[in-house]
């Protein structure tokens, strides 16, 4: 299943800030994939554990630190 996010969601990725435009769900045995466009126009797909919602002080949400690779469980 693919879902277009409207409006796009600002996220933090291992490559920096981006806008998530699409969400891809291959089923219960797989991570969600977030299709993100970065500030330089490059498009990357990130697994769910690799991204975080961008901080938003209006909602009292801070961006948690990213876990190191292999530490998700």
Q: How far apart are CA 37 and CA 43, in angstroms?
A: 4
Q: The pTM is what? A: 0.76
For every residue of 36-63, DSSP letters joined together read EEETTS-EEEEEGGG-EEPPBGGGTB-P
Q: How far apart are CA 46 and CA 32, in angstroms?
A: 8
- Kindly list the domain boundaries of the chain, sorted by start residue: 2-58
Which of 70, 29, 33, 24 shows the shortest CA–CA distance to 51?
33
pLDDT, tens digit, 9 for 90 and up, residues 12-64: 999 999 999 999 999 998 999 999 999 999 999 999 999 988 877 676 667 66
In the structure encoding, which two tokens stand for residue 64, read together? Answer: 């948690």
More confident residue, 45 or 69: 45
């Amino acid at each position: 299943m693919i879902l277009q996010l409207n409006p796009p969601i600002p996220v933090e990725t291992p490559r920096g800030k981006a806008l998530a435009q699409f969400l891809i769900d291959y089923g219960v045995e797989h991570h969600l994939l977030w299709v993100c466009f970065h500030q330089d126009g490059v498009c990357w797909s990130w697994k769910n554990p690799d991204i975080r919602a961008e901080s938003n002080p209006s909602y009292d949400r801070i961006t948690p630190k990213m876990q190191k690779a292999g530490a998700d469980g």
